[in-house]
C-alpha cells in the first residue's frame, strides 16, 4: 500500500486554531509550524497581523522551510503587489 504525498496551499480565509484550520491539521501538517522561516502573518499586505494563507503537507513530506519569504522579497514590494503576503514552502518528497 503506497502512501501518496499531499500538499495543500492557498488563501483559506481562516486562521490557526479555527475550526476549519483544525479540520485540515487533523490529516495534514501546517508547514509553518514544522519549519518556520521568514514571517508568519500574511494579511493584510500593508500591515500583516494574521495568518490566513498557508501550506499544509502530509506527514511524509519533509518541510525545509515555510513562511513569508522576507529574505527574498521586501515587505514594501509585496505590500504593493497584493492584499496578502506570499507564502513560500520548500519541501522534499
Is the separation of the CB atoms in 59 and 90 below 8 Å?
A: no
Structural domain contains residue 40: yes
Structural domain contains residue 1: no
Mind listing the pLDDT tens digit for each residue in 64-87?
999 999 898 887 787 776 788 899
Owning domain of residue 32: 7-92
Structural domain contains residue 51: yes
Tell me how many degrees the CA angle 75-38-6 measures, rounded to the nearest 5. Answer: 115
Give the residue carrying C-alpha cell 484550520.
21
In this structure, what DSSP letter does residue 3 have? P
- pLDDT of res. 2: 72
CA nearest 58: which of 25, 11, 19, 10? 25
Structural domain contains residue 67: yes
Structural domain contains residue 43: yes
Mind listing the pLDDT tens digit for each residue in 20-33?
999 999 999 999 99
Give the residue carrying C-alpha cell 506570499.
86
Structural domain contains residue 20: yes
- How many domains is the chain built from? 1
Structural domain contains residue 2: no
**Does the structure show a pLDDT above 90 at 39?**
yes
HSE-up of residue 16 (Cα within 13 Å, Cβ side): 14
- pTM to 2 decimal places: 0.91
Amino acid at each position: 500500500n503506497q502512501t501518496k504525498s499531499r500538499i495543500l496551499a492557498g488563501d483559506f480565509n481562516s486562521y490557526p486554531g479555527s475550526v476549519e484550520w483544525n479540520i485540515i491539521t487533523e490529516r495534514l501538517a501546517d508547514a509553518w509550524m514544522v519549519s518556520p522561516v521568514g514571517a508568519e502573518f500574511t494579511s493584510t499586505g500593508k500591515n500583516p497581523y494574521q495568518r490566513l494563507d498557508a501550506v499544509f503537507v502530509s506527514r511524509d513530506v519533509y518541510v525545509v522551510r515555510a513562511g513569508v519569504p522576507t529574505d527574498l522579497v521586501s515587505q514594501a514590494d509585496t505590500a504593493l503587489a497584493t492584499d496578502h503576503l506570499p507564502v513560500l514552502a520548500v519541501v522534499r518528497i
